[in-house]
Amino acid sequence: MNPRARMFAEESISKVLFKLSVPATIGMVVQGLYNLVDTIFVGRALGAESVQGIAGITIAFPIQMIIMGVALTIGIGSASIISRSLGSKDYKRADIALGNAISAILALSILITVLGSIYIIPLLKLFGATETILPFAFDYTRIILYGTIVFAFSMTVNNIVRAEGNAKVAMLTMLISAGLNIILDPIFIFGLDMGIEGAAIATVISQAVSAIYLVHYFRTGMSSLNFHASNLIPHSDVFRETIAIGTSSFARSASGSLMIIVINNALAIYGGDIPIAVFGVVNRLFMFTFMPMIGIVQGLQPIVGFNYGAKNFERVITSTSLAIKVTTLISMAGFLLLFLFPAQLFSIFTTDQQLIEAGKSATRIMVLALPFLGFQIVGASIYQTLGKARSAFILSISRQVLFLIPLVLILPQFFQLEGIWIAFPISDGLSFIVTFVMLAKEYSAFKGTIA
């Protein structure tokens, strides 16, 4: 048994989860930080036009989420196959999954770039861009689309690296892109006076360097997986399983993208540019809160996948329970920070007092159910790791598609703009109930198997 396999199978769960989650969490926090930094620098650089600049990035975000969704579909789907294959010692299948993932993401990235560039203006208008926001959204999105291939490749392969238990390399990959982006942002935005376009260029360059590092990782033999050019040819069974498992990730990103489109259009109707900018800032603050929880989940997934493949169900239960406790603590801390200090957080992004005051009241409503989200994030990820595509898909769409979008369409008719903000805690509470019921059934099934 190789050292990584021994770690998954024999070391204490708390020690393994800590060893894998800490690097992943650091990487995700820094990743979340550079999403914040982009918005902060744009807001500060544009001065009187900060509302339109922040709103422009907000309008562009659904396209980034679609790219992210495609990358996660391939990355998490193949990572699930790889971790379970390593657990069952099927090394050939793990290598095939790696090759198929690379060829799939390269082909899909090129398709997204071409179609996105052709239909960029109609897409941005569909996403809720007003006449004053559209020029800023266009300048940012056009450049982001050119970097699709490096962004998607980095995200896909990073999930694979983590699946083989090499959390430190996965962390370093994110640190490289995030750290470089934070350095390049002020150079392009302020030093070269490129404004919102500078933020996009800095992001693309950072992701390209990250992709180059990952290629170096596999070429130098640091991975326990072996890349063979022959594995780039799709294997129908591996490809189908990758897509089936990863579909819930795409559903989550696509539903998140759809959610943002619906909300942006509703905000344009009931409020205009300022509420759209408010949502953009709150969304990034939420993402920064989610990142540590996602880091815990990323550390959990290879543990669960390996032990599920090895039929060691007791360790599956123990590791999942520990992850739920940790993510719940993180979500509670995030709730306190956002609820108690919204004005201070908004003032980092802008000096516009109207935007700060609007953001203060909206944030305090939107975060009311935040303490429940740690449980939901762990729940949705577990089913992906176990290869249970249908359950993972249901949990992926429940919060945003089944609950939030209908509420955003209905509540403003009674409560106007405030109804949009109220929809968030209600949908989070309903999604928590669905996740709890499904995980309770899964827990009982595991306990029955162990007994």
Kindly report, residue by residue over 142-165, the tens digit of the pLDDT: 999 999 999 899 888 888 887 777
Quote the tokens at residue 194. 């490129």
Query: d(Cα 182, Cα 208) in Å, to the nearest integer?
Result: 15
Section 339-359 average pLDDT: 87
Q: What is the pLDDT of residue 412?
A: 92
Section 20-27 average pLDDT: 76
Query: d(Cα 342, Cα 281) in Å, to the nearest integer?
Result: 10
Query: d(Cα 152, Cα 30) in Å, to the nearest integer?
Result: 18
For 108-131, the pLDDT digits (tens) are 999 999 998 899 999 888 887 878
> In whole angstroms, how far apart are CA 74 and each of 87, 107, 224, 450?
20, 12, 19, 32
Answer yes or no: is pLDDT of 26 > 80: no
Q: What is the pLDDT of residue 3?
A: 59
Q: What is the pLDDT of residue 354?
A: 86
Question: What pTM, to 2 d.p., does this model score?
Answer: 0.70
- The total of other beta-carbon atoms located within 10 Å of residue 204's CB is 19
Quote the tokens at residue 368. 């009311």
Answer whether 89's CB lies under 8 Å from 78's CB.
no
Answer yes or no: is pLDDT of 327 > 80: yes
Answer yes or no: is pLDDT of 451 > 60: no
Section 7-16 average pLDDT: 71
Answer yes or no: is pLDDT of 254 > 60: yes
SS3 351: coil
Q: What is the pLDDT of residue 4?
A: 58
> In whole angstroms, how far apart are CA 175 and each of 33, 169, 199, 256, 387?
11, 10, 18, 25, 29
Query: d(Cα 161, Cα 172) in Å, to the nearest integer?
Result: 11
Q: What is the pLDDT of residue 421?
A: 93
For 358-417, the pLDDT digits (tens) are 989 999 999 998 998 888 888 877 777 777 767 777 777 777 788 989 999 999 999 999
Residues near 369 by beta carbon (within 8 Å), at least 6 away in sequence: 424, 425, 426, 428, 429, 432
Section 218-224 average pLDDT: 75
Q: How confident is the model at residue 85 (pLDDT cuts 50, 70, 90)?
A: confident
Section 273-286 average pLDDT: 85
Answer yes or no: is pLDDT of 422 > 80: yes
Angle between helices 417-450 and 236-270 (to 10 degrees): 150
Per-residue buried b or exposed e for 439-450, using 16+ beta carbons within 10 Å of the residue's own CB: beebeeebeeee
Section 74-102 average pLDDT: 79
CA proximity to 373, closest of 304, 442, 435, 303: 435
Residues near 56 by beta carbon (within 8 Å), at least 6 away in sequence: 42, 129, 133, 134, 135, 136, 137, 139, 140, 196
CA proximity to 277, closest of 123, 38, 131, 59: 59
Q: What is the pLDDT of residue 363?
A: 93
Query: d(Cα 238, Cα 236) in Å, to the nearest integer?
Result: 6
For 284-311, the pLDDT digits (tens) are 888 888 888 888 887 888 788 777 777 7
Tell me the average pLDDT of the chain. 82
Per-residue buried b or exposed e for 162-172, using 16+ beta carbons within 10 Å of the residue's own CB: bbbbbbbbbbb
- What are the boundaries of each domain within the chain? 3-234, 269-450
Q: What is the pLDDT of residue 446?
A: 64
Q: How many alpha carbons fall within 13 Å on the CB side of residue 112?
A: 28
Q: Which residue has the higher pLDDT, 245 or 406?
A: 406
Answer whether 80's CB lies under 8 Å from 383's CB.
no
Q: Which residue has the higher pLDDT, 10 or 215?
A: 215
